A and B are shown apart, each in its own frame.
Chain A
Amino acid sequence: MKYLNNILSITIIILIIVLVTIGLISAIGSDVTKAITGFFWGIFGSFYGLSEVLVRATPLILAGLGVAIGFRTGFFNIGAEGQIYMGAIAATVIGLEFPNLPPFILIPLVILGGFLLGGFWAVIPGFLKARFGLSEIINTIMFNYIAINIVGILVRTSLKDPNYPLPMSPELPENMYLQQLLYPTRLHIGFIIALVASLLIYVLMWKMVAGFKMRAVGLNPRGSKCSGISVYKNILLASLISGGLAGVAGVSEIAGLHYRLLEGISPGFGYIAIIVALLGRNHPVGVVFAAIGIAALQVGSITMQVQSGVPTSISWIIMGLLVLLILARRTVSSVNSDQKEEATL
């Protein structure tokens, strides 16, 4: 019965999404068939399209993992966007300082640097939450705006490329580039790094004591405290890893795609990562699939914009709607089980 309910509710959600999409496309006066063909053609129509989905998924997996760990530990990290930028800053500074280091030293060094600076950017709100109970949601959002403006300042001042009038850093040394996987596509080793990271996070969160403690704090801070698990330390740890992973996403974008520090390296990846974590049910495997799914949605909508003029903001509408519908569904189907749980308590 519950199984049937699940299938039914998922079908209803898909139906609503499809209807809204068709409505939005026809509202702007585009041909629905042409637009939807364009959407799928963009994803599956070419090898390049498929590879582009994985390119887009790379930062989403990394940042999404970070957000998921935060959620599991009770740290609502809305600041992945800013942490991505901080990771990118760290990678740029290290790359420009040590251009002559061999790749096998420089690449791990920039990844570590990105992890630490991204992590630092999340540990501050984490500390303020764990120590003083200040809302991490508000602080991480404010830190996003601050980080983006710091990048804006840096690419106009100390990190500016003197040879160009545009606000961007000089080209980074080749020794830190993440190897391309399938030339001529843009897919790079960052994707493999993201997959390895999700494996590591799975082991950490589900096979190690440290992860167990973090999840315990997320489930029941008071209970954890009474059993001798430090809420304070675990929130600090979770925020460090959470921001660190987003920082690595920033490194991967810089060292794998742009090869420079620019203002627009993240078109909202940090915010989309929240949706990725939610859809992936805060589990590494789920995050990987959700990131690929959302990346496909975005790549498809870009082609759809080119071919039939449907604005890409449609993907934000769809993502927001999807989360709202899923939120409503989860509780609808859990109402029955809740009552059962209460009866047994």
Chain B
Amino acid sequence: MIADFFVGLEAFISATIRMAIPLALAGLGETYSEKSGILNIGLEGIMLCGAFFSFIVAFLTNSLAMGITAGILGGMIISSIHSFISIKYKADQTITGLALNFFVAGLTSYLFLLFFGKSTNLPECLMVPVINIPFLWKIPFFGPVLFQQDGYVYFTLFAVIITWILFYRTEWGVNLHAVGESPKAADSVGLNVIRIRYISAMVNGFFGGLAGSYLTLALLGFFMENITSGRGYIALVVVILGRRNPLGVLLASLLIGSANALQFQIQVKGLAVPSQVFIMFPYIITVVVLLFSIGKSHDPSSLGIPFTRSKR
């Protein structure tokens, strides 16, 4: 009985981590971007593009490394378009992001049809292997949960720590905050606002593309139209809830990830209710979770506002 419970709990926590990873990665990237003052609603498009290109390249080359690289590049391309239009042309960042989401949704389903036609069986690609951390994975309960995961999980933890150090313990982090809070002041002390914003946007594309590649290469093993199904938008919530702190972002993703995992666990019990009840559960949780950020969230002062150097 107790053993059963632990097996169930183990499965639940593993599922939570799997569902949280894409949110954490994409949220981490968005944190860089928002700290520098660029609100990128196009995160959904970045992830979708990353998911598609990692899938297609992994499928064609049979190489995971190539697939992951392609996914990252795909994400960075979309992010660079967003940053170019919103920094260089000072366009509305929200609308640019939305337009990119439409664009990528159309483009990926177009390209998918181009490669595979209208076949009913989904083509499958390689999936990333589970890496057992020597010795540690044999620890009962904690071993399988923490030390028997794929490379993405370890990388995410690593990236969270590195990002935290970058943000709060380096001069670059101070500069990043300055650019987001007061670009004029940052500019007047000689920081290159535009360059820092471009770099942050590229980091966002990197992580967003990686998050997308996780969906196809680690979670599902195939690609379908609109595979992200709103995860990019949920990642934006994770950023707000995590108060743009890398550790907070990780915790917030685990919270929403657990809602997803719970949904799967209940769904397999085979209750006599339509599956839609469970499918909408994570979206409801996202709204509820957003309610808890009331009054606690502090946006960077220049979030969403283009920077014009000569402007007084």
Contact = CB atoms under 8 A, between A and B. Distances in A.
B106 A157 contact: no
A106 B283 CA distance: 34
B233 A327 contact: no
B230 A157 contact: no
B276 interface: yes
Given A142-B230, A156-B276, A271-B102, A317 B287 contact: no
A316 B287 contact: no
B274 A328 contact: no
Interface in B26-83: 41, 81
Q: By DSSP majority rule, is chain B's interface helix, strand, loop, or mixed?
A: helix
Contacts of B273: 153
Interface stretch (A113-121, A130-138, A215-223): A130-138
B280 A146 contact: yes
B85 A327 contact: yes
B211 to A, nearest CB: 17
B166 interface: no
B275 to A, nearest CB: 8
Q: Tell me what chain A mostly uses at the interface: helix, strand, loop, or mixed.
A: helix
Interface residues of B, number: 48
Contacts of B41: 137
Contact of A313 (B95, B113, B287, B293): B113
A327 B91 contact: yes
B110 interface: yes
Q: Which of A145, A152, A331 has the most CB of B within 10 A?
A: A145
B283 A146 contact: yes
Contacts of B229: 145
Interface string A239-267: 00000000000000000000000000000
Contact of B237 (A138, A313, A335): A138
B297 to A, nearest CB: 8
A185 interface: no
Interface string A310-338: 01011111111101100110111001000
A27 interface: yes
Contacts of B106: 313-320
Given A135-B240, A152-B274, A311 B109 contact: yes
B107 interface: yes
A327 B99 contact: yes
Interface string B215-233: 0000000000000011001
A139 interface: yes
A14 B37 CA distance: 32
A320 B230 contact: no
B230 A145 contact: yes
A152 B290 CA distance: 25
B96 interface: yes
Contacts of A324: 81, 85, 96, 99-100, 103
B274 A153 contact: yes
Nearest to B98: A274
B294 interface: yes
B277 A153 contact: yes
A185 to B, nearest CB: 28
B240 to A, nearest CB: 7
B135 interface: no
In order of increasing CB-CB distance, the 8 nearest A-B pairs are A316-B106, A320-B103, A149-B280, A152-B276, A323-B99, A317-B106, A320-B102, A327-B91
Interface of A: 24, 27-28, 76, 78, 128, 132-135, 137-139, 141-143, 145-146, 149-150, 152-153, 156-157, 271, 274-275, 278, 311, 313-321, 323-324, 327-328, 330-332, 335, 342
Given A78-B98, A314-B110, 13 more contacts: A128-B290, A134-B294, A135-B240, A138-B237, A141-B230, A149-B280, A316-B107, A317-B110, A320-B101, A323-B102, A324-B81, A327-B85, A342-B312
13 contacts: A28-B114, A142-B233, A142-B287, A150-B276, A311-B113, A317-B103, A317-B110, A320-B100, A323-B98, A324-B99, A331-B89, A342-B311, A342-B312
